A and B are shown apart, each in its own frame.
Chain A
Amino acid sequence: EAEVAQSPRYKITEKSQAVAFWCDPISGHATLYWYRQILGQGPELLVQFQDESVVDDSQLPKDRFSAERLKGVDSTLKIQPAELGDSAMYLCASSPRGTQYFGPGTRLTVL
């Protein structure tokens, strides 16, 4: 069964450093999402792509976060510089339409 792939699974970094996360969606899924989940809360959308275009990045802190999906397939989310409050689970999801399928996530710890 096809799955959304994410790497790394865990990342520990010091504040002010740069970090990057990678996501490979299910083949054929045109829509890709990056969510952030803080413990005890539901996931919140950071950015949504339709193919290579950003559809919604209204909740993305653009002073430090960036996301790209250059060829409309895999995607990278970057944080520079990382802050203590960025510690969270970063989830990638993809969708053909409607239901979104999530990857295993990247657990980021900023020290």
Chain B
Amino acid sequence: DQQVKQNSPSLSVQEGRISILNCDYTNSMFDYFLWYKKYPAEGPTFLISISSIKDKNEDGRFTVFLNKSAKHLSLHIVPSQPGDSAVYFCAALGGTSYGKLTFGQGTILTVHP
């Protein structure tokens, strides 16, 4: 049972344009959401998070939007840069498993110069 889903395995964007990565979840007990970025052969790097009491959180070029009624969140990167090319994971906290992060499958973002 995949409780966190990233339905787009890959996304290709031109440098300077907006990248939008999407994530859906099924467990209504999740109350904290995070985005991680991962380069090959490295561990995930924390990017940005959002609590379920908010619908938007912004940090520089990165903005996360949360739509609780749709159980959907998205990460916007503006403007996209070639160095943003990586795998992006959506993750959720909460529910009955205290502290356990539930990850999506990841989306490979490629930003072309």
Contact = CB atoms under 8 A, between A and B. Distances in A.
10 contacts: A4-B43, A33-B99, A35-B101, A43-B89, A48-B99, A95-B99, A98-B32, A103-B43, A104-B42, A105-B41
Interface in B75-113: 89, 91, 93, 97-101, 103-106
Interface of B: 4, 32, 34, 36, 41-46, 49, 89, 91, 93, 97-101, 103-106
Given A45-B100, A91-B43, 11 more contacts: A31-B99, A35-B101, A42-B106, A43-B101, A44-B103, A56-B99, A93-B101, A95-B99, A98-B93, A104-B42, A105-B41
Contacts of B103: 42-44
B105 A42 contact: yes
A43 B106 CA distance: 10
A101 interface: yes
Interface residues of A, number: 28
A40 interface: yes
Contacts of B98: 55-56
A100 B104 CA distance: 15
Contacts of B41: 9, 104-105, 107
